[in-house]
Structure formats: C-alpha cells, structure tokens
Amino acid sequence: MSLAASLREALDLGHSRSPLLLEGDPLDPMIPDDRPVTPAAVLVPIVDRSEPTVILTLRPETMRKHAGQISFRAVASMRATKARWMPPFREAEEEIALPRSAVEIVGIADRYRTITGFEVTPVLGVIPPDLPLAAHEQEVAAIFEAPLHYLLKPEHHVVRTAMWRGRERCYYEIDWQGRRIWGATAAMIVNLSRRLELVA
C-alpha cells in the first residue's frame, strides 16, 4: 500500500474516533469572543521516504509577525467553494517552489483556532522525495524535514508555560534537533497524533 493510501486509511479510521483535541489557542480576555474568525488552510507536506518526513519552514527574523517561528507556512484563505477549502498550492509554490502537480492530497485534519483570529484547516499531502525546493527569501529563512513518526510521538509533545500580556499561558513545544516547533504548528501536530494514534 502506498504512503498516501496508508495515511488516508489511518485518517479515515481516526475520524471515527473521538480523541481529546486542542480546539485553539487560549482566549485573550482583551479580545471580544464574537470577533470575526477568518478560515484558512495550511499544507502539511509529507515526504514519501522509507521513513516519512514532514517539511517545515523557518520564518525570517525580519518578518513583522511570528518572526523566527517554525511553521507549515503555506497558508491560504479558505474560499467560498463547494468543498469549503482550497489546497494552498499557490502559496507552497511561491514560498518553497513546491509544484502543485507533485502533491497527492490525503485529506484534511482537525481545524485549529489561533489567537490571531484564524481557523486553520491542515491539508495533508504526500510528495516525492528530493524535490528541488527553494526558499522564497522574504518569506522563508530555511526549509527542513522532520520524521513524521517522531513528530507524532506523544512523549515529544512538551507543555511549556510563558507570560503573555500579564497572564500565564500554556502551549505545546516539540524539539527536533534543536529546532523549536511550538504554538499553533505544534498544536496541529498534537491533534494529528491524537487523531491517528500513531497508526501512521
């Protein structure tokens, strides 16, 4: 069975379960609960290797928002379509030169609401290994791969706390060879782990 087929089967099986999921970032009391939420999508590119990996990107320190953070990066606003979402192919092409023709869509994972007002749908896709990817210098500082199995292991999901706007907040963090994956990206990985229960 191909990697895409295995992941699709695991995801379908996972959607029949009811795991405890992270719905979103802790609410900020300074922000109204009824403010508009912007639907968005990120592409989670899984590389078809003997040990599958996930492509992640590092944001430049010069970015106005989320500087120096690790993310899936290919973010697209959800469009009003019958499918309710459009795979963020254009963004992936622009940011890391990932051709849309190389992506085999597996399915969608659980939405996650960010404190910045986005409801993000992770779109899982499988891509061939060793594509000639290239970082958009203004959007991406580095591209790297982390093993899927490593990212999904619960023992690598560490809860951290930090003070933000005078309040202590909890968030998840995953360390991969000194790369600090945290915030919404880590939370979406945690949800995927709980949904798949490491079946993948």
Q: What is the pLDDT of residues 64-114, one digit of tens each?
A: 555 567 888 655 555 544 445 556 778 888 899 999 899 999 999 999 998
Neighbouring C-beta atoms of residue 84, cutoff 10 Å: 12
Helices (H), the chain: 3-14, 89-96, 148-152, 183-196
The more confidently predicted of residues 130 and 115 is 130
pLDDT score for 2: 95
**Domains and their CATH numbers in the chain:** 3-196 (3.90.79.10)
Instruction: In whole angstroms, give the CA distance from residue 37 to residue 120.
Output: 10
Q: What is the pLDDT of residues 27-74, one digit of tens each?
A: 555 555 666 778 888 999 999 999 999 999 998 766 555 556 788 865
pTM attached to this predicted model: 0.86
Task: Examine the pLDDT at 199 and tell me if it is beyond 50.
Answer: no
Please tell me the total number of residues recorded for the chain in this structure.
200
- Residue 191: half-sphere exposure toward Cβ, Cα within 13 Å: 23
